[in-house]
Amino acid sequence: MKTLRQILESKSGVLATVSPDDAVFRALQVMAERNVGAVLVVEGERLLGIFSERDYARKMILFGKTSKDTRVRDIMSDKVLCVTPEQTVDECMAIMTEKHFRHLPVLDDQRNLVGIISIGDVVKEMISEQQFIIDQLGKYISGSAITEPILPD
Protein backbone atom coordinates (compact mmCIF):
# COMPACT_ATOMS: atom_id res chain seq x y z
CA MET A 1 0.00 0.00 0.00
CA LYS A 2 1.38 3.38 -1.00
CA THR A 3 1.99 6.17 1.44
CA LEU A 4 0.61 9.66 0.98
CA ARG A 5 4.18 10.85 0.32
CA GLN A 6 4.29 8.60 -2.76
CA ILE A 7 0.94 9.95 -3.96
CA LEU A 8 2.06 13.55 -3.46
CA GLU A 9 5.27 12.91 -5.41
CA SER A 10 3.21 11.90 -8.42
CA LYS A 11 1.03 15.02 -8.25
CA SER A 12 2.20 18.05 -10.13
CA GLY A 13 1.95 21.74 -9.58
CA VAL A 14 1.79 24.22 -6.77
CA LEU A 15 -0.81 23.94 -4.04
CA ALA A 16 -4.04 25.86 -4.56
CA THR A 17 -4.08 28.34 -1.68
CA VAL A 18 -5.79 31.56 -0.71
CA SER A 19 -5.46 34.07 2.08
CA PRO A 20 -8.10 34.29 4.80
CA ASP A 21 -8.65 37.93 3.78
CA ASP A 22 -9.34 37.09 0.13
CA ALA A 23 -12.89 37.45 -1.09
CA VAL A 24 -14.73 34.17 -1.53
CA PHE A 25 -14.99 35.12 -5.21
CA ARG A 26 -11.17 34.92 -5.46
CA ALA A 27 -11.17 31.48 -3.85
CA LEU A 28 -13.76 30.33 -6.39
CA GLN A 29 -11.59 31.69 -9.20
CA VAL A 30 -8.57 29.74 -7.92
CA MET A 31 -10.66 26.59 -7.64
CA ALA A 32 -11.93 27.02 -11.21
CA GLU A 33 -8.46 27.81 -12.62
CA ARG A 34 -6.91 24.78 -10.92
CA ASN A 35 -9.94 22.52 -11.45
CA VAL A 36 -10.08 21.57 -7.77
CA GLY A 37 -12.90 21.28 -5.25
CA ALA A 38 -11.08 22.94 -2.34
CA VAL A 39 -8.32 25.41 -1.58
CA LEU A 40 -6.12 25.60 1.47
CA VAL A 41 -6.35 28.80 3.48
CA VAL A 42 -2.88 29.89 4.53
CA GLU A 43 -1.22 32.83 6.17
CA GLY A 44 2.45 32.81 5.30
CA GLU A 45 3.48 29.19 5.84
CA ARG A 46 0.74 28.42 8.36
CA LEU A 47 -2.38 26.42 7.49
CA LEU A 48 -5.46 28.15 8.90
CA GLY A 49 -8.22 26.17 7.27
CA ILE A 50 -9.77 24.85 4.10
CA PHE A 51 -12.43 26.30 1.82
CA SER A 52 -14.43 23.89 -0.30
CA GLU A 53 -17.37 23.78 -2.67
CA ARG A 54 -19.34 22.38 0.26
CA ASP A 55 -18.49 25.44 2.39
CA TYR A 56 -19.67 27.67 -0.44
CA ALA A 57 -22.95 25.82 -0.91
CA ARG A 58 -23.80 25.50 2.78
CA LYS A 59 -22.47 28.77 4.20
CA MET A 60 -22.93 31.23 1.35
CA ILE A 61 -25.76 30.40 -0.99
CA LEU A 62 -28.14 29.17 1.71
CA PHE A 63 -27.63 32.38 3.69
CA GLY A 64 -27.81 34.77 0.75
CA LYS A 65 -24.24 36.03 1.10
CA THR A 66 -22.36 37.36 -1.91
CA SER A 67 -18.99 35.98 -2.91
CA LYS A 68 -17.46 39.39 -3.63
CA ASP A 69 -18.39 40.85 -0.23
CA THR A 70 -17.56 37.86 1.99
CA ARG A 71 -14.06 37.02 3.18
CA VAL A 72 -12.79 33.45 3.07
CA ARG A 73 -12.12 33.58 6.84
CA ASP A 74 -15.84 34.05 7.46
CA ILE A 75 -16.90 30.75 5.92
CA MET A 76 -13.81 28.51 5.73
CA SER A 77 -13.62 25.35 7.80
CA ASP A 78 -11.04 26.15 10.46
CA LYS A 79 -11.16 22.84 12.34
CA VAL A 80 -9.14 20.83 9.86
CA LEU A 81 -8.12 17.23 10.30
CA CYS A 82 -4.68 16.71 8.77
CA VAL A 83 -2.69 13.63 7.84
CA THR A 84 1.03 12.92 7.55
CA PRO A 85 3.05 11.85 4.51
CA GLU A 86 3.80 8.48 6.16
CA GLN A 87 0.15 7.48 6.42
CA THR A 88 -1.19 4.99 3.89
CA VAL A 89 -3.88 5.36 1.29
CA ASP A 90 -5.99 2.88 3.28
CA GLU A 91 -5.70 5.00 6.42
CA CYS A 92 -6.63 8.09 4.44
CA MET A 93 -9.67 6.36 2.93
CA ALA A 94 -10.83 5.26 6.38
CA ILE A 95 -10.61 8.83 7.70
CA MET A 96 -12.38 10.29 4.68
CA THR A 97 -15.15 7.70 4.86
CA GLU A 98 -15.70 8.03 8.60
CA LYS A 99 -15.57 11.84 8.70
CA HIS A 100 -17.22 12.46 5.29
CA PHE A 101 -14.27 14.57 4.12
CA ARG A 102 -13.27 14.95 0.48
CA HIS A 103 -9.92 16.68 1.11
CA LEU A 104 -7.21 16.26 3.72
CA PRO A 105 -4.20 18.56 4.09
CA VAL A 106 -0.89 16.78 4.57
CA LEU A 107 1.52 18.17 7.19
CA ASP A 108 5.04 16.98 7.97
CA ASP A 109 6.50 16.39 11.45
CA GLN A 110 7.19 20.10 11.87
CA ARG A 111 3.56 20.89 10.96
CA ASN A 112 4.64 22.33 7.58
CA LEU A 113 2.11 22.03 4.78
CA VAL A 114 3.36 19.58 2.16
CA GLY A 115 0.24 18.90 0.12
CA ILE A 116 -3.39 17.94 -0.04
CA ILE A 117 -5.01 14.58 -0.75
CA SER A 118 -8.43 14.40 -2.35
CA ILE A 119 -10.91 11.56 -2.41
CA GLY A 120 -10.16 11.34 -6.14
CA ASP A 121 -6.46 10.74 -5.41
CA VAL A 122 -7.33 7.99 -2.96
CA VAL A 123 -9.87 6.25 -5.18
CA LYS A 124 -7.53 6.42 -8.19
CA GLU A 125 -4.76 4.75 -6.19
CA MET A 126 -7.05 2.06 -4.80
CA ILE A 127 -8.32 1.24 -8.29
CA SER A 128 -4.74 1.08 -9.57
CA GLU A 129 -3.75 -1.33 -6.79
CA GLN A 130 -6.77 -3.54 -7.38
CA GLN A 131 -6.07 -3.61 -11.12
CA PHE A 132 -2.50 -4.70 -10.41
CA ILE A 133 -3.78 -7.55 -8.21
CA ILE A 134 -6.30 -8.59 -10.87
CA ASP A 135 -3.56 -8.61 -13.53
CA GLN A 136 -1.27 -10.69 -11.31
CA LEU A 137 -4.04 -13.19 -10.56
CA GLY A 138 -4.82 -13.42 -14.28
CA LYS A 139 -1.17 -14.19 -15.03
CA TYR A 140 -1.06 -16.77 -12.27
CA ILE A 141 -4.21 -18.49 -13.50
CA SER A 142 -3.04 -18.50 -17.10
CA GLY A 143 0.26 -20.02 -16.03
CA SER A 144 2.47 -17.17 -17.23
CA ALA A 145 3.57 -16.48 -13.69
CA ILE A 146 4.92 -19.99 -13.26
CA THR A 147 8.69 -20.17 -13.46
CA GLU A 148 11.16 -23.02 -13.32
CA PRO A 149 11.93 -24.03 -9.76
CA ILE A 150 15.35 -23.20 -8.43
CA LEU A 151 16.96 -26.33 -7.06
CA PRO A 152 19.59 -26.23 -4.36
CA ASP A 153 23.15 -27.25 -5.32
pLDDT tens sequence across 21-74: 999 999 999 999 999 999 999 998 899 999 999 999 899 888 888 999 999 999
pTM above 0.85, yes or no: no
Q: Does residue 51 belong to any structural domain of this protein?
A: yes
Q: What is the CATH number of the domain that holds 134?
A: 3.10.580.10
Q: How many domains does the chain have?
A: 1
Spatial contact of 114 and 86, defined as CB atoms under 8 Å apart: no
Please check whether residue 95 lies inside any domain of the structure.
Answer: yes
Residue 150 within any structural domain of the chain: no
Evaluate if residue 146 carries a pLDDT over 60: no
Contact (Cβ atoms closer than 8 angstroms) between residue 107 and residue 81: no
- Asked if residue 52 belongs to a domain, the reply is yes
Sign of CA dihedral 86, 90, 96, 99: negative
Domain encompassing residue 44: 4-142
For residue 127, is it left (φ>0), alpha (ψ between -120 and 50) or beta?
Answer: alpha
| pLDDT value of position 137 | 80
Read off the pLDDT of residues 66-121 as tens digits, 9 standing for 90 and up. Answer: 999 999 999 999 999 999 999 999 999 999 999 999 999 999 999 999 999 999 99
pLDDT above 90: residue 13: no
pLDDT given at position 145: 53
